Amino acid sequence: MDPAAVRTWLLELQDELTQALEQCDGSGRFRRDAWQRPGGGGGESRVLRDGALIEQGGINFSNVHGPSLPAAATQVRPALAGAAFEAMGVSLVLHPHSPFVPATHLNLRFFVAEPVSAAPVWWFGGGFDLTPCYPWHEDVLLWHRAAAAACASCPAGSYQRFKDWCDRYFLLPHRGETRGVGGLFFDDLCEWGFAPTFAFARRVGAAFRAAWLAIAERRRCLAWGERERQFQLYRRGRYVEFNLIHDRGTLFGLQSGGRTESILMSLPPLVRWEYGWQPLPGSAEERLYLDYLRPRDWLGEAGVT
């Protein structure tokens, strides 16, 4: 276990994503805010607003520690309740201007817990997912091919394991729909040993960057109008609902006394709700609900093994 190496890589990842997204956007620049947590640790938030491509996006690094793990981090490991901890990670959320460029999320994190009467326990968590309003099937396949490639050198079945976990996690049960078209999600991952798990986390970060940039370049110049914009704002409401009701990362940040502005940078800048809204039969909006907001074997259906 080498927390210093993980921290160095996470800072490098934040820089690499910042540079790549500023180059892709073409006009926007990330504002950088360093912050300290009163309970221990700190980080740097980077937020881009009103760029050419990105309406609002953030790339946060945090490295915090404290005397007791928050409840959001002990749901799967109740035996660690009360353990001292160190947590570090990079979290990215992008909300593009264009309704045709999908919103997206990446999180990679590393925890070390130190129970009073036991050896330290470490694990990695994170993943990425894609939230289109107007999906293209070839984009979804590209996304899941990148996810499968990141898992290629892991134990057999890892892509399916983490793909299914993503489908279960990014679910809005009160709506009966997934947040988007999924990707990868994993937590409490340590059974492979430190070096292989750390290597996997690095591959996930690289796969995310390549896949989302490719999709954004495909769709950024497509013309859209007020109908598409209003649907995008409506669908952003689902993003808000998930992050405030279900997301463990949001809960952990708030419970651990993290910086509220940084934790809630994942929320879109503009959003709307509409009572009883229904898509028109046969519309592109209905197609999202019928064909995409549910778990599917994307690669298997396409004959990709």
- Between 171 and 266, where is the model more confident? 171
Residue 164 has pLDDT above 80, yes or no: yes
Q: Are 95 and 268 in contact (CB under 8 A)?
A: yes
pLDDT band (50, 70, 90) for residue 250 = confident
Q: Checking DSSP bridges between strand 54-66 and strand 41-49, what pairing results, if any?
A: antiparallel
Which of 25-29, 83-87, 146-150, 273-277 has the highest mean predicted lDDT (pLDDT)?
146-150
- Between 96 and 81, where is the model more confident? 96
Residue 116 has pLDDT above 90, yes or no: no
Question: What is the predicted pLDDT for the residue at 31?
Answer: 94
pLDDT band (50, 70, 90) for residue 206 = very high
Question: What is the predicted pLDDT for the residue at 251?
Answer: 76
pLDDT tens digits along 9-36: 999 999 999 999 999 999 989 999 999 8
The domains of the chain, with CATH numbers, are: 3-301 (3.40.1500.10)
Estimate the share of the chain in helix, then strand, then coil, as percent rounded to the nearest 5.
40, 25, 35
Question: What is the predicted pLDDT for the residue at 120?
Answer: 84
Question: What is the predicted pLDDT for the residue at 72?
Answer: 63
Residue 166 has pLDDT above 60, yes or no: yes
Residues designated catalytic: 105
Residue 182 has pLDDT above 80, yes or no: yes
**Residue 74's closest CA among 41, 123, 108?**
123
Q: Are 58 and 238 in contact (CB under 8 A)?
A: no
